[in-house]
Structure 1
């Protein structure tokens, strides 16, 4: 039950001390605890061109310790930042956990980064060691890095001296070795640590405190350049344990999780990686998302817990092997997802997807647990989780509003970030310690949060407010829609008109009027888009968290309407 302040839009969850299921609140402690519980169980599976890799929890611990020893040999100590630029593969987990065992801070870098974006992330994060995967899709990151800093191609390993990246001293690559220069092979890097006593790694890990910085993740950058977000061990591990509880997983469920998205996004780290390892399950790793290969992987590895975004489910449903794949192992899949319609799948399960969160809070601050009845959820984004407080304020004055009034969502709690890199905390939080999210929403009389979208994205049409989120939820349920996003476009008399931008599924003929008819059955008339614009997938770019830069999409739509 949430605590509410009479009449005011403020709601708090139970005290954190009352939350069940929390374990050790550091990353080294988390890994040690799950290893002691599930040592000989399979922790991960990875298929690639060389064969199949399977690690038990004991092996994940040993590989992480090996990376920690190598990092110590490379000079990593308390709070040293270690960049990890990899897809979902065994070395990613060993690198991140290994960094924490060495006392360092893991910097999660997106493999979707362009050279310009990567340069920004490296400068902002100040990493001293960079562990990266050489080839991701069509990108050779060794070439990208040496183009950004030619000295990397000429300096000896361990001898990096770069004015562009003054803290960067060591680089190691997973995949094909790089001839000459400063970039070590993965094997050579790991071999560095053979002279480092394991006892020193364990001693360093034991000094890590829940309040220490654990990771540095980045905002999605939909409104500006990505910000570096420092999260404490306590915040990260609370969410890892918490997601297990929200999904209702236990050791006897033998969770086998596949995900379409990278662990370098906080939501996927907490939801997929965290809940699976906390429950003693197995991560079925796919380096880059391919719908046909994903279905084959789900079948062969008997995946029962798939994690993907709506546009990726649309791609899975459109894959050539969709109809023939045996997905009968799927158990933890929401009844509203396309997988629930697959002929081999039987499910009545509903995921805890009615939630609200931010990278700044290392994911969820409000949520309902899996299989919560719909009349309890009532279309909301959940209720405050233990330790969290939500308030709704007037975005201009900061005055706390009353229940039911829409305003800016502000949050505080035990998973709130330590701060942005380079920005004083008092410039980020208000005087009462709340983070102002820039999102719009309201609290009802029961303390449930209703998210209405970014304040800058809420569409004001004919005197009414339209949440693009609400329209998008129905739009993406329309048959044949692969990706649907709603924006407001300026209008002389209405202020703005609602416009839907749609990417059809492959080889699907869609008609804008048919989409509008579908939406008219599900939305109030003023929320139904006046225009439906069809695009090809390459006309706008989705991030891995299915976000689009709204300003760019509005420009595209306005230009299309003008013609």
Structure 2
């Protein structure tokens, strides 16, 4: 059976501690006085909060002690619901030091989604920023310990409650925390990341400590991050890319995280200029918003160096870069804590072009025939299956045999092939998952929500290509006879029920006779996608 393997994991350079708590202590010792975090809580015109690595470690330690004092033990699941702010970073590592398991929550969740994830994850403690943008997260949250959230024992909000939580841990001795941290192993549960998949509900991806720490050390090396790096990102930390590629990698490199709680293009441009950011991360639609902003032309972005020449940043008049750096030759998933294949970002442009990298140390990859399941040779296209040191332990509350095949490989639902140089080429999704603006959107989740729309008999969601978002969500809907339903009505119905990025950009009203069904009465997605594209083109 053909298996494409990377070098032995033991051959990978630059790998340090493989527990999240040990990782923080190692980088804090190495870079104690360097700046780790810069945060402007009231915008660029207000005061700035700056933490050193030693200060970050102190805050994480205080949070860990507070958790121990609150009864958090080994394996307790602690949910974290905040924007990209210093407390998020300190809490992530504080939870790990205490031996607990972090459940980072999506700040775009509406109340039903939040309730589902809190219940499904068995979170015992919720640490929350009560308000963010238009959200008041506690306004409709069910009582802790009630029938809707039976395992949730306590909710602590930033502010007075947060201060009280921390103060209660001040009597916990260093020796107790050190003993707890020493019992955390790389194989222990560390992190549950919820991601939309091909099911109606978000799936909880359970990772051991080794996965995010290995990726942090690895990204720092592959992205060529040095201690003078200053990173800004629009990626939220509750997603794998934000956690590993941004937060973890920057700290592994000894750099500074320039935090923006939520993305706003004007404020982002001010931060990029004033904080002399060197390494920015944003999705294409966010880059478009930056470039379209009135301040774009007047901002000095000359400190940027880890940018691609053909992107908005690379085209800025104050930025002067060649095609010498790009992270695009890479492939991964939430289930693999990001990358399983990659090339160094400064590899020659010719090596990076038209492929998604080489298999990384410790990883194994197969290309499976979609019909027979047999492993294919180089040059043959099929479904990508992966195994390796950063592969998830499994989905929460799902049996292992439903997650992995009998050889331990995870079937990704992605299509691709491996060329004669052992480089992976990812060619798209084999499933119907919609990838829009960097987020995964489950069509089934949208469709099941619209089942409750009183004016619709059917609603199907598909992804159509978009120049900056990758794909946009489009819903094809069939109205009940005698009901008048329009595009805005469908979108309005979804608001408050699902996260804003899942709400369709376009809604196409079709007749039932327009839908082509399979023998088991399922809608043919490929024909539905073509129908939606044609009808939108005709408008």
Q: Please confirm whether the aligned pair reaches a TM-score higher than 0.5, indicating the same fold.
A: yes
SS in 2 for 1:30: helix
Q: Confirm or deny that 1:248 pairs with 2:224.
A: yes
User: How much has 1:248 moved relative to structure 2?
Assistant: 1.4
**Equivalent of 1:265, from 227, 239, 249?**
239
Match of 1:452 in 2: 427
**Equivalent of 1:90, from 86, 91, 95?**
86
Q: Confirm or deny that 1:201 pairs with 2:177.
A: yes
Matches within 5 A, 1:164-203: 164-175=148-159, 185-203=161-179
Change (3 A) 1:545 1:358: farther
Moved more, 359-368 or 165-174: 165-174
Q: Confirm or deny that 1:441 pairs with 2:416.
A: yes
Change (3 A) 1:546 1:138: closer
- Partner Cα separation in structure 1 for residue 385 and residue 505 of structure 2: 22
Q: Confirm or deny that 1:136 pairs with 2:132.
A: yes
Change (3 A) 1:546 1:163: closer
- Partner Cα separation in structure 2 for residue 89 and residue 329 of structure 1: 23
SS in 1 for 2:328: coil
Q: Normalization by structure 1: what TM-score? A: 0.78
Match of 2:23 in 1: 30
Change (3 A) 1:325 1:286: same
- Partner Cα separation in structure 2 for residue 396 and residue 77 of structure 1: 46
- For the 8 Å contact 2:235–2:241, the answer to whether it is kept is no
Moved more, 551-560 or 428-437: 551-560
**Equivalent of 1:361, from 336, 349, 352?**
336
- Partner Cα separation in structure 2 for residue 544 and residue 390 of structure 1: 35
- For the 8 Å contact 1:83–1:106, the answer to whether it is kept is yes
**Equivalent of 1:325, from 270, 289, 299?**
299
Q: Normalization by structure 2: what TM-score? A: 0.82
Matches within 5 A, 1:397-476: 397-457=372-432
Change (3 A) 1:317 1:561: closer
- For the 8 Å contact 2:278–2:306, the answer to whether it is kept is yes
- Partner Cα separation in structure 1 for residue 505 and residue 364 of structure 2: 29
- Partner Cα separation in structure 1 for residue 24 and residue 152 of structure 2: 28
- For the 8 Å contact 1:88–1:285, the answer to whether it is kept is yes
User: How much has 1:446 moved relative to structure 2?
Assistant: 1.3
SS in 2 for 1:439: strand
Change (3 A) 1:55 1:548: farther
Match of 2:204 in 1: 228
Where structure 2 has 5 or more consecutive residues not aligned to the other structure, the ranges are 444-462, 470-487, 507-524
- Partner Cα separation in structure 1 for residue 27 and residue 468 of structure 2: 42
- For the 8 Å contact 2:232–2:258, the answer to whether it is kept is yes
Per-residue displacement from partner, 1:35-93 (whole Å, max 9, x unpaired)? 11001111101101263211111111111111111111111010000000111001101
- For the 8 Å contact 1:220–1:543, the answer to whether it is kept is no
- Partner Cα separation in structure 2 for residue 549 and residue 430 of structure 1: 37
Match of 1:106 in 2: 102
User: How much has 1:237 moved relative to structure 2?
Assistant: 0.5
Q: Confirm or deny that 1:81 pairs with 2:91.
A: no
Number of residues paired by the alignment? 473
- Partner Cα separation in structure 2 for residue 17 and residue 82 of structure 1: 32
- Partner Cα separation in structure 1 for residue 465 and residue 373 of structure 2: 32
Where structure 1 has 5 or more consecutive residues not aligned to the other structure, the ranges are 152-159, 178-184, 459-467, 477-481, 488-497, 505-534
CA RMSD of aligned residues (A): 3.2
